[in-house]
Structure 1
Amino acid sequence: MRRRALLSAMFDAAVARVGADRCVPPNLPPRPRGRTVVVGAGKAAAAMARAVETHWAGPIEGVVVTRYGHAVPCDRIRVLEAGHPVPDAAGVAAAQALLAAVSGLTADDLVMCLISGGGSALLPAMPPGVSLEDERALTRALLRSGATIAEINAVRRQVSLIKGGRLAAAATPARVETLIVSDVPGDDPALVASGPTIADASGPETARAVIARHRIVPPAPIAAWLEGGMGAVTVRSGGVRVIATAQDALEAAAAVARAAGYTASILGDAIEGEAAVVGTVHAGIVRQVRAHGQPVAAPCVLLSGGETSVTVRGPGRGGRNVEFLLGLLDALGDCPGIAALAADTDGIDGTEDNAGAVIDETSFARAAALGLSPRDHLARNDAYSLFDRLGDLLVTGPTLTNVNDVRAILIDPPGRGDGA
């Protein structure tokens, strides 16, 4: 089907644009007089490490941690795998390995830190009195609360011995250069993986405010720790470069759409909010395009990125991208000439096996024929099950990068068939 094929090509281009093999080599720092130690964490960390190895002239060593299933082979940099989005014991060991790798260095040495989304969960380093189970319970509560990634990481930075600049502090007096593939709205480097090389500008009061705002009941040891907080750290100034962003991915997708004869409009690269509500808002923009040719006239594609959230109230399955699409589908119904894709650029939507899903003008009717109600599935947070029944899930496997979500809505003029 033409529209679905075009959406797939747009997503592939978006992912390729932010791949490690493209964005790492131009941003490598100068060689030091001493040792070069590579450390890193995130879903793209192993691919970034391999890109460094391939393009680095001279001795190199180190260790990075990535999510299970996201590893790639490296010759000189050790690659570890750990749990995500809920941390596990392998992550604890990985955090200790990174801290050990940067210890005992000199001012002549270079620490190259490779950071991408997912690093917060992959680097659990609990303060005294806080157990891994406490950390896991806090993570689950934060993920279900509807909090933004900025809010979540404000808490994580205050319950860690490695985040909030503490990895860089441990590397003192070595020079630390950080390359970041950003998965956070606004691309604030301090938010990606909770900023292990960037000093935390917030404090325990910020973390406590987030917990209170979202009515989270943290484990008692964490609540007690947050009454005092971590205290400031001193980080030796070094380079911090954001080398891949959601905007980069959206521009690559837009180029594919334009080549196919569609006007491309990027609505924003940092859209947040409840996923289903954001889907409903996008449906309103679709109607404005169809009725008034605003903000662009059909044939067009509406693109957006960022990270929505889901306040979990039901027992169903699904991540924020399928929840967005279900909100869009519920609001649009069987609107003709429409097709849409929403997917996470890392290939994993939440904790499921899909990157997201694709819908078109037939999806609403096909769901009704199967007795499936988008609204009922929304109430149960069960978007995955509906799209699974329809055969509309998008399954890519790990992409080895991560700039968060890409959403694309194709809008054709009335009467223009899918094969046109």
Structure 2
Amino acid sequence: MITQSASLLKSLRREAVALFLEGVAAANPEQAVAAALVARSATLEQASRIILVAFGKAACPMARAAMPFVRGSLVTAIALTNHENVEPVDGATVIAGGHPIPDKGSIAGAAAIEHAVSRAQEGDLVLVLVSGGGSALLCAPPPGVELADKIALNEALIRSGADICEINAVRPIFSRLKGGQMARLAGKAKVLSLILSDVPGDDIATIASGPTARPRSSTRRAREVLDKYGLWENLPAALERRLEQMNAMPDVTATDFHNVENVVIGSNAISLRTVADKAEAEFDLVVRASDWLEGDVLDAAAELHRIAWAAAQCNGRVAVVCGGETTVRVRGDGKGGRNQELALCFALLNELQPIGRPWVFLSGGTDGLDGPTNAAGGIVDAGSSDWMRQKGHDPIASLENNDSYHALACSGDLLITGATGTNVADIQIVLMS
């Protein structure tokens, strides 16, 4: 193994973290909401009354940013967010729910939002503020389906390795609000939905399972996903009955959405562009590895390592940047998240084919929370796996047991930022000097 200067590695680590935080800052929800509402001042002025509902990990800062624009006509404001991102918002009722697994708070928050939107009348404006995590938080099970059924479904989907588009093709079938049903509930009122995207291609029907988007989900598509990942046989009886009783999602027509405007105001692509632009000021070569990194985390790590190894053959300082959302097939009982597992896998791949020059690799969730842990992800270098072994931790066994958190913790390689108040999926950065 090549011995790397400790000071050089510390410098690269600082640069990687700084670039990651620039990407997070580019998805600042307050700035994005304010800019969007300034551009739509006429829409706000024309509204008889305004009903504001926000849900997702950035619900509180998004609602706070909207308040100066709506206060004169506001009749109701509700912000539903995860427990880690709860903060007071003057003029709004803030409700905490569970993420990634919904809880009683998710049920209560969704019910409050449903009630508020159902009160909208012709001439009103329903201002909907959507951010990452909104699908799990906005938990409104249909009749006959209980919270326990939704939890079982969510856990099974997350552990299966299904990607976010597949997961959000299933969720609307078991919801009173997803799949365009919130927009329909608003009746003749105008709906303006400002969206922070955490999905590939910024597809509004997929983000938070598309509560204000024209639905594309169907019982057939949901069944295909459940069959693909072997989940149908163990589906709770209430969910199975729901699928069998439904031939399709509720009928929708163009008129159901003629008063709806969906606007993506922040995304992974915007954050990656910021990271790449900042990196170009300090690095001789910046490589955009992928517009959206997805698929199984082991395959994604192999592809990223291959790209990094090839880029390492170039002269000068090199940065490799990408983002997206990988999936993890949970086989063990360890602790971790997709970003931590990606970092651990990258470090192990480098043992098989060393990059051959000083490098660091960072993979982090822009929300600051990776899986059920307090870490945003991991940041490793060529010495990380050796440090794990010296501390008595087998990195290969950890990977097999989905226990990346404890492996990275013992080598000092966890990326911890705290909850950021936004979410536009993940960012990966490789830096070489």
After TM superposition, the score normalised by the length of structure 2 is 0.91
Q: What secondary structure is seen at the aligned counterpart in 1 of 2:346?
A: helix
* 2:17 match: 8
CA distance in 2, matches of 1:262, 1:373: 36
Q: What secondary structure is seen at the aligned counterpart in 2 of 1:224?
A: helix
* 2:191 match: 176
Q: Bigger CA drift: 227-236 or 239-248?
A: 227-236
**CA deviation map 1:273-300 (0-9, x unaligned):** 1112211211111221224x3xxx5421
Name the amino acid aligned to 1:330: L
CA distance in 2, matches of 1:302, 1:8: 14
CA deviation after TM superposition for structure 1 residue 72, in Å: 2.7
CA distance in 1, matches of 2:31, 2:69: 11
Name the amino acid aligned to 1:220: A
Q: What secondary structure is seen at the aligned counterpart in 1 of 2:171?
A: helix
* 1:189 match: 204
Whether the 8 Å contact between 2:214 and 2:257 is mirrored in structure 1 is: no
CA distance in 2, matches of 1:260, 1:133: 51
Name the amino acid aligned to 2:251: A
CA distance in 1, matches of 2:344, 2:371: 15
* 1:395 match: 416
**CA deviation map 1:195-254 (0-9, x unaligned):** 111121221010011000000121111011112334234533221110001011111112
CA distance in 2, matches of 1:77, 1:264: 43
CA distance in 1, matches of 2:344, 2:93: 41
* 2:178 match: 163
Q: Bigger CA drift: 19-28 or 174-183?
A: 19-28
Whether the 8 Å contact between 1:168 and 1:176 is mirrored in structure 2 is: yes
Write the mapping of 1:20-419 to structure 2, written as runs, cut at 5 A: 20-28=29-37, 29=40, 30-31=43-44, 32-56=46-70, 58-60=72-74, 61-216=76-231, 217-229=234-246, 230-234=249-253, 235-237=256-258, 238-291=260-313, 293=314, 298-333=316-351, 335=355, 336-412=357-433
Q: Bigger CA drift: 2-11 or 261-270?
A: 261-270
Q: Name the structure with the higher helix share.
A: 2
CA deviation after TM superposition for structure 1 residue 308, in Å: 0.2
CA distance in 2, matches of 1:33, 1:344: 37
Whether the 8 Å contact between 2:288 and 2:320 is mirrored in structure 1 is: yes
Q: What secondary structure is seen at the aligned counterpart in 2 of 1:176?
A: strand
CA distance in 2, matches of 1:286, 1:92: 44
* 1:416 match: none
CA distance in 2, matches of 1:341, 1:26: 31
Count of aligned pairs: 408
CA distance in 2, matches of 1:206, 1:410: 41
CA distance in 1, matches of 2:30, 2:129: 13
Identity %: 38
* 1:18 match: 27
After TM superposition, the score normalised by the length of structure 1 is 0.94
Q: What secondary structure is seen at the aligned counterpart in 1 of 2:101?
A: coil
Name the amino acid aligned to 2:250: G
Unmatched runs of 5 consecutive residues or more in structure 1: 413-420
**CA deviation map 1:367-410 (0-9, x unaligned):** 23224333221111111110010111111111000001000001
Assess, with a 3 A threshold, how the Cα gap between structure 1 residues 82 and 263 changes in structure 2: closer, same or farther.
same
Q: What secondary structure is seen at the aligned counterpart in 2 of 1:85?
A: coil
CA distance in 1, matches of 2:85, 2:345: 30
CA RMSD of aligned residues (A): 1.5
